[in-house]
Structure 1
Amino acid sequence: MSALDAIYARQSVDKADSLSIQGQIGLCRQKSGEDFRVYQDKGYSGKNTNRPAFQRMMEDVEKGLVQKIIVYRLDRFSRSIADFGRLWEILRRHNVEFVSINETFDTSTPMGRAMLNIIMVFAQLERETTAERVRDNYYQRAKLGSWPGGPAPYGFSIGKLPGPDGKPAPGLLPDERASIVERIFQSYAQEDASLGSVARSLNGDGIPAPRRATWDNVSLSRILHSPLYVMADEDVYLYYQGKGLIFANRLEEFDGLHGGMIVGKRDRSAGKYQDLNEQHFSLSTHYGLVPSGLWLRCQYKLDANRQLGGAGRGKHTWLSGLLKCGSCGYSIKVNRDRDKYYLVCSGRSNLGLCDASIRVGLRELEASVKAELERLLAECPDMEESAAEGPELAQELDQIDRKIDRLMSALAESTDLTMPYVNRTIEKLEAQRSGLLERQTALQKAPRQKLRRLSFASLDFEQKKLVAAQFIQEIKLSGDIAEVSWNI
């Protein structure tokens, strides 16, 4: 079927001073070709596009059955500039012209296209203004403790809770999965537990993860990091104070009962809870699920894991942590069967998200990478040994100084009740600072000696891991191909 002209007419209600649908069609026929199709909506408002005939017309546009749309007046088509801008993008993509008789608006003419550009500018302004208004409203709801919007977090459902003014507002209520959240925190807080062991335990009991069938490190980390689950008290306040958050609530409001929320702009490439500087923290109207002591033990453990940098804890190869699937990006794990080693995509084995088959031999890959590392190390010049701990100590000292500065600022707003918590934490930080300064002084006085050039073959297993992690960004495996990305 060839493309035809489309005449669209709409009338919300019959009015003596408004042009009827038939009158609109009659005027539009004067601008159409011999072949045309009529779409008419009677009794529908133009404030949105939820109109049956309009939707059929746009479907025909998508199918390539329309070459031109003719309306009596622009508001018959759409009364929203933002909607019109979005619809015009669809028309332009399918080479459909647009004609409005009343405004002498015809996109096939230079003047019509100029008018369209003006409308598009206002459409963009309306979209940006709406987005800013939605974002400000979101932050304001969070600041007042109400659930700002979006799906309920794992372990909660959305209901109504009294707001600051006593009126019911959207809030979080524990659901049947709240006990799973408590289990996650209790399990991870155990000394010998890891994210992987907790995930395996949950998967072994057939407990589905949020929005997927199985648990992994990422889904667990999101729950463990979130302040939504903690019964936030003064210790939680001090923990976040040291990370540079901006608080909507005073210290004495942290009653050890209510959960919290973190909102604010952030780099999308970074995790939500990695860089908290300049983020906003607000106490919520809902009650937390996890005592602050248990929650903080998990935070300190997560912080320590992040400082280790995921250097890879595999025991079968010193390339652990560097191997990635070239198809899905998930990590590659090493399975051993007697004397044979197999490389398996964790996205395939754990989640069923990938069908990649890795045929690269582990020992052949190690030999190839080892030869290149030996060459790179041979090219390194001799140098004097410097204090390896020096930069790390300086960084730790800087972090402690910043935490002390923030806590000193917190003293200004402390009460007799909360001041002991702040003073106690400052004393601990000062003790840590003194110890670091002593180590730094000792390192500076230690005699330097000339380093001998490293031989990769002579390094032990853990040393090889460290060297490989310094030189290699990642190794992508696809089929029988290994692609090494070097940090040089």
Structure 2
Amino acid sequence: MPIFGRIFDMKAIYARQSKDKKDSISIETQIDYCRREVYDEDYEVYQDKGFSGSNTNRPAFKRLLADIKKQRISQVVIYRLDRMSRSLLDFAKLMELFQKYDVKFLSTQEKFDTTTPMGNAMLSITMVFAQLERETLQCRIRDNYYARGKKGMYLGGKAPFGYDKVETSLDGKKTYKLIKNETDSQIVEAIFNWYVNQGLSISAIGRKLNELNQSHDQKLFYAGNLTRIIRNPIYVSANADIFHYYQSFGCQITNPIEDFQGQNGCFLYGKNKSTSEGRTRANMSEHTLSIGLHQGFIDPDTFLSAQSKINQSNSISRLGTGSKSWISGLIRCGICGYRMSVKTSVNRDKHTGEVKANYLYFCCNGVRYGAHKQPLPKHGIVVNAIENAVEHQLLKHAALKKDLIHQFVQTNTREQNQLKIDLEKINGEIHNVVEAIAQGNAVVQSYMNEKLETLDQQKKEIQKRLIEFESRDQSENHFSMADLIDQWKTYELPMKKKLAALFINEITIFHQEEGDSIQIKWNYDFSKPAISL
């Protein structure tokens, strides 16, 4: 929208000449042509000699723009359009500035005059072409960005936490390569270990790191930067499982599966979107994954376990982040259906005020929101009593199914990874053969049928070997109900919390005056024969 209320009503003549040449128009000649257009009105001359029109970094030109913004100028007159700028984008920006401050514009040679309908039409056409050039430039930048990503080049910015960047060259072009920072990478490894293997929440990990005086880019760790670390495939030693994981989300993968050898990390790049909850990743189909030149250092199985955990937002919400009870987050009120949280009651000495004991109670969140309509009983719901009741039921079920096994994540060997790569290639070949059979004649179909049988046999052999790998050393890599019974009393709260979430879906408490009762909804039907979870 134009800004009105001009202080002065003066015209400006602008002239520019980069070099003195025989065939070039001198600054004096340019000014003479412009004077014919301003007649007897007040004007001021702005001239730049020895400056190129490729950019707007010129002293007199910058002074002209400053005077326009001070509302001293009503019209700008030039000899020819290229005296103002040789860049269509710069010229378009100038026209936008002129329109904002209601400044007319006239070029004497092209008869480009914004005071006339034809001049305004020409201005509109110029702005359209300027927008086209902007979009073309953006496409070139984006295409170059994606081309760098496909080659595994570092895509710019600060090195991710856990890495340093060193200058290198690829295909004769300067770029950067990530190398492992021995100190920070140990923190990243600890984050994944605490999150996956020890069952700590993201908030608990942040508190632990901050207590240890660790920092992320000289800032405290919090849920946001920890989540970005856990989500980032730049750390994973990417193998065939990583390929399939991102492929399942529709991610565009630039490398063939053969490149996923369990050594290099990945770059994931694409559009981000803003929501009311902050910046988040958009649909994965709008992202591209490329193998980087750097070494990953997080085991792929650990990485995938972390993704599974962080993706299960409902389960994480239900599990809760409380550090006072191993069943916090699983408890629901049987009266109003709201979740229940742990509150602390302090018992102090009446005379000295000294704390004698702390008691933990479950409190219904529905009371706070007015959803709990029934009067509350006089007695509270003691956390220790509910935990004991749940523990009794859990161990009772465990005793009935001592042979029930939970299989922990196994480490992929290189041979396993290669088998998965071979299996993917064979599936692709089978698909191509089936297509050829559908389109070919009888002779081709006969040949392709033989080929299909061979591929199917190879596929079965690979699947058989993968099953052998999965069953190998199972006794050293499992957790049984018998272990739970024998070791339950020795487990710390995070481990108990992890096991509770594994076996229990929900615990409902019916808090009534005549007494409390609980109802447990299990994740596993204990009446069925024992199977691996």
TM bucket (normalised to shorter chain) is: 0.5 to 0.7
CA distance in 1, matches of 2:316, 2:274: 19
Offset of residue 303 of structure 1 = 2.3
Using the TM superposition, give the Cα deviation of residue 49 of structure 1 relative to its aligned residue in structure 2, in angstroms. Answer: 1.8
Deviation at 1:126, TM superposition (A): 0.8
Q: Does 1:233 align with 2:248?
A: no
Which residue number in structure 2 is paired with residue 276 of structure 1?
A: 284
Query: Equivalent residue for 2:160?
Result: 153
Segments of 5+ residues of structure 1 without an aligned counterpart are 321-332, 340-362, 375-405, 429-455, 464-488
The equivalent residue for 1:17 is 23
1:185 aligns with 2:212: no
1:303 is matched with: 311
Contact preservation (8 Å) 1:199, 1:217 = yes
1:105 matched to 2:74? The reply is no
**Cα 1:36–1:335 shift into 2, 3 Å:** farther
Q: Matches of 2:149 and 2:293 in 1, distance apart? A: 10
Partner residue in 1 for 2:131: 124
Q: Deviations over 1:205-243 (max 9, x none)?
A: 444435x73322121111111111112123322332333
Is 1:65 the equivalent of 2:72? yes
Distance 1:97 1:173, change over 3 A: farther
Of 251, 263, 271, which aligns to 1:245?
Answer: 251
Q: Distance in 2 between matches of 1:279 and 1:462?
A: 46
Q: 1:49-91 CA distances to partner (integer Å, 9 max, x unpaired)?
A: 2223222322332333332222111111111112211222222
Q: Where does residue 453 of structure 1 map in the other structure?
A: none
Aligned CA RMSD, in angstroms, stands at 4.3
Contact 2:272–2:281 (Cα < 8 Å) also in 1: no
User: 1:156/1:47 Cα in 2 relative to 1: closer, same or farther (>3 Å)?
Assistant: farther
SS of the equivalent of 1:29 reads: helix
- Per-residue Cα deviation, 1:254-285 (whole angstroms, up to 9, x for no partner): 12221111234565559655642363321111
Gaps of 5+ in 2: 1-6, 330-340, 348-362, 375-420, 430-454, 471-509, 520-533
Compared with structure 1, are the counterparts of its residues 107 and 145 closer, same or farther at alpha carbon in structure 2 (3 Å cutoff)? same
- Aligned equivalent of 2:427, options 412, 424, 428: 412
Shift of residue 98 of structure 1? 1.5
Q: TM-score, normalised by structure 2?
A: 0.58
Task: Provide the secondary structure at the position in 2 that maps to 1:61.
Answer: helix
Q: For 1:40-59, what aligned pairs fall within 5 Å after superposition?
A: 40-59=47-66
* AA aligned opposite 1:262: L
Q: Using the aligned pairs only, state the percent identity.
A: 37
Q: State the Cα distance separating 1:372 from its structure 2 match.
A: 9.7
Single out whichever of 151-160 and 223-232 deviates more from structure 2: 151-160
In 2, Cα distance between the equivalents of 1:118 and 1:46? 21
Structure 1 residue identity aligned to 2:8: S
| Residue pair 1:411, 1:422 contacting (<8 A) in 2 also | no
Alpha-carbon distance in structure 1 between the residues aligned to 2:90 and 2:372:
58
Alignment: residue pair count: 364
| Displacement of 1:122 | 0.5
Pick the aligned partner of 1:285 from 270, 286, 293: 293
Amino acid aligned to 1:229: Y
Q: Matches of 1:140 and 1:273 in 2, distance apart?
A: 21
Q: How does 1:63-462 map to 2 (within 5 A)?
A: 63-161=70-168, 163=170, 165=171, 169-175=175-181, 177-210=184-217, 213-265=219-271, 269=275, 273=281, 275-277=283-285, 279-304=287-312, 306-308=313-315, 310=317, 313=320, 369-371=369-371, 411-413=426-428, 420=462, 424=466
Instruction: Measure how far apart 1:147 and its partner are.
Output: 2.1
Structure 1 Cα separation of the partners of residues 465 and 252 of structure 2? 20
Distance in 1 between residues matched to 2:211 and 2:89, nearest whole Å? 50
Tell me: CA distance 1:245–1:407, structure 2 relative to 1, closer, same or farther (3 Å).
farther
Provide the C-alpha distance between the structure 2 equivalents of 1:60 and 1:6, rounded to a whole number of angstroms: 10
The aligned amino acid for 1:51 is: R
Q: In 2, are the aligned partners of 1:81 and 1:123 still within 8 Å (CA)?
A: yes
Contact preservation (8 Å) 1:242, 1:407: no
State the 1:115 CA deviation: 0.7
Hey, what does 2:404 align to over in structure 1? Answer: none
Give 1:399's aligned residue: none
- Structure with more of its chain in strand, by fraction: 2
Offset at residue 171 of structure 1 (A): 3.2
Q: Deviations over 1:148-194 (max 9, x none)?
A: 3444433444443453x586544334457444433433333342311
- CA–CA distance in structure 2, aligned partners of residues 63 and 102 of structure 1: 28
